[in-house]
Structure 1
Amino acid sequence: MTPQEFTDFLYREIPLTKAMEIQTLSFTTEFISLAVPLEPNRNDKHTGFGGSISCLMTVCGWAMMYANFREEYPEGKIVVQSSQIRYLAPILSDFRAECRCTDEAAKDALRQSWQQRKKGRLRLEIVCFCGETEAARMAATYYITE
């Protein structure tokens, strides 16, 4: 799936992503990057709205799960089970979320859990950047089940 195809998929399946104007910059099984313009995602102080930051990061982690497991488990439902966000700096312009997942052992553990119980989880780290400044960091556990 190309980045544009994934953006189109998000707009169809998760309507909020269209309102936020999320764009997919990278869509691979090891690296996801999603970006949004500030204007539709700002607060009354003209900085990044916390809800938009949280949503972008949540969707970024969800996208990582989707990139890795959609073909293996097309019937699997992906949800965020828990998350913790630390806001580190104000967002003053367009921003992006990035998620890297190169831990093959963790992916294999999810696959083994799926084979045994038709469910599994993966913990991901998602970082939000405004330019090169790290603005927020999320630790989240995503769950896939039938």
Structure 2
Amino acid sequence: MTQLALFQKRINEDIPLSRALGIQLHSWDGHALVLSAPLEPNRNHQGTGFGGSVYSAAVTAAWSLTELALADLGLRGAVVVQSGNIDYLEPVNSDFYVVCRLPGEEIPERFRKSLARHGKGRLDLTAEVFCGEPTVLPKTDPVAVFQGRFVVQDVRSRVDL
């Protein structure tokens, strides 16, 4: 089973809301994560994406990116969202997907050093929401943009598990 398939299983088990939202992980290349969600279980009374569902998918993408980036470093820790906000730019009128990228396409050096020195760190991330078929290189503008800060604590080597 691939790293992404194992992680999909983990979020489905550990975050029941991800199952209810229909979140599916599509790709992780070490720099960007793409996940999708269907409109139907996430729609509001107007037939467009419910704001809470869109926010939850974006938070899940950023949280997942943090977890996967840690795993790529051979680490594991307690990852939580410290703060987050979202701007809804257009209605979500179809199935949607989220693209979250590491800042500058790589794990920030300051974050790495903090993990190594203190066993904890903070990572500021942006997750963009798009309508349509999932792709790491969208051809349209985002319909929503989430910005959040994620805190990692109790960092340890995955070998120690």
TM-score (norm 1): 0.91
2-structure distance, mates of 1:5, 1:73 = 16
Query: Which 4+ residue blocks in structure 1 deviate beyond 6 angstroms?
Result: none
Map of 1:134 onto structure 2 = 142
**Structure 1 position 10, deviation (Å):** 1.2
Q: Distance in 2 between matches of 1:124 and 1:79?
A: 13
Residue identity over aligned pairs, in percent, reads 34
Report the secondary structure of 2:75's partner residue. Answer: coil
Normalising to structure 2: TM-score of the pair? 0.83
Classify the secondary structure of the residue corresponding to 2:142. Answer: strand
List runs of 5+ in structure 2 lacking aligned partners: 133-139, 155-161
Cα separation, partners in 2 of 1:35 and 1:97, compared to 1, 3 Å? same
Aligned residue number for residue 26 of structure 1 = 27
Task: Assess, with a 3 A threshold, how the Cα gap between structure 1 residues 104 and 44 changes in structure 2: closer, same or farther.
Answer: closer
Give the match's secondary structure for 1:63: helix
| RMSD value, Cα | 1.7
What is the DSSP-based 3-state SS (H/G/I as helix, E as strand, rest coil) of the residue aligned with 2:60? Answer: helix
Deviation at 1:25, TM superposition (A): 1.1
Q: How many residues align?
A: 145
Residues 1:119 and 2:127 aligned together: no
1:73 aligns with 2:97: no
Equivalent residue of 1:103, what SS? helix
Structure 1 residues 91, 61: CA separation in 2 closer, same or farther (over 3 Å shift)?
same
Deviation of 1:4 (Å): 3.0
